[in-house]
Amino acid sequence: MYRIKHHPILGDLDDKKEDLVTIYVDGTPLPVRKGEMIAAALMAHGIRVFRKTIKHKNPRGIFCGIGRCTDCVMTVNGIPNVRTCVTPVEDGMRVETQEGSGKWGDSHG
């Protein structure tokens, strides 16, 4: 959705299978490109709400995109507050929309 597939300088992007890995977003498997940041992968799939804020439960997503503002944090593999804009995807990664401070995943229970 928000993926540039044809770029005048960088050329075309073809989704070769070997370039893809699978992450699970709130339980749903999504094919994403190896090496890209979690936030980029979610944007490519049209996902724009990454978390709900603590106080007012407002939706948040990418703001600064460079790991500074901490607006894009999600719970990744059971660890809350992971900055998705500077954390690369890994095959099998579990990414969850974070409500407030989130909760610890099972692997850490």
Partner 1 sequence: MTEYFDVTIVGGGIIGLSSAYYLSKRGKKVLILEAGGFGHGSSGSCDDMILLQSKKPGINLKLAFESLNLYQQLLKDWGQEELEFLNLGGMILIQNQQELSIMEDFVRQQQQIGLDVSIIDKKEMKKKQPYVSDRYIASTYSKIDSQVNPFSVMRGFLSRIKKMGGEIRFYTPVKSIEKQNSGTWHIKTEKDEDYYSDVVVNAAGAWAGKVASMVGQQVHITPKKGQLVITEKIPSLGETNLWSASYMVTKLRPDLVKNDLSDMGIGLGFSFTRTTDGNYLIGSTREKAGFDKRNTYEAIKAIIKQATGILPILNEVHFIRTIAGFRPASEDGKFILGEHESVPGFFTAAGHEGDGIALAPITGKILSEIVLGDSVDSEYMQLSPGRFIFGTEKKEKVLKGV
Partner 2 sequence: MTDREIFICRCEEVTLSEIEQAIDEGFVTVNDVKRRTRAGMGLCQGRTCGKRIAQIISKKTGIPLETLLSGTTRSPVRTEKMEIFKGEQDV
Tell me which stretch binds partner 2 (CB under 8 A): 7-15, 23-31, 37-45, 57-65: 57-65
C-beta closer to partner 2: residue 31 or 67: 67
Per DSSP, helices labelled H in the chain are 38-44
Residue 106 main-chain phi, psi, to 5 deg: -60, -40
Q: How far apart are CA 56 and CA 53, in angstroms?
A: 6
Which one of partner 1, partner 2, none interacts with residue 53, CB within 5 to 8 A by kind?
A: partner 2
Q: Label the pairing between strands 11-12 and 6-7.
A: antiparallel
Contact 100, 72 (CB under 8 A): no
Nearer to partner 2, 16 or 55 (CB): 55
Residue 69 binds partner 2, judged by CB under 8 A: yes
Binding site for partner 1 (CB under 8 A): 54, 79-81, 101-104, 108-109
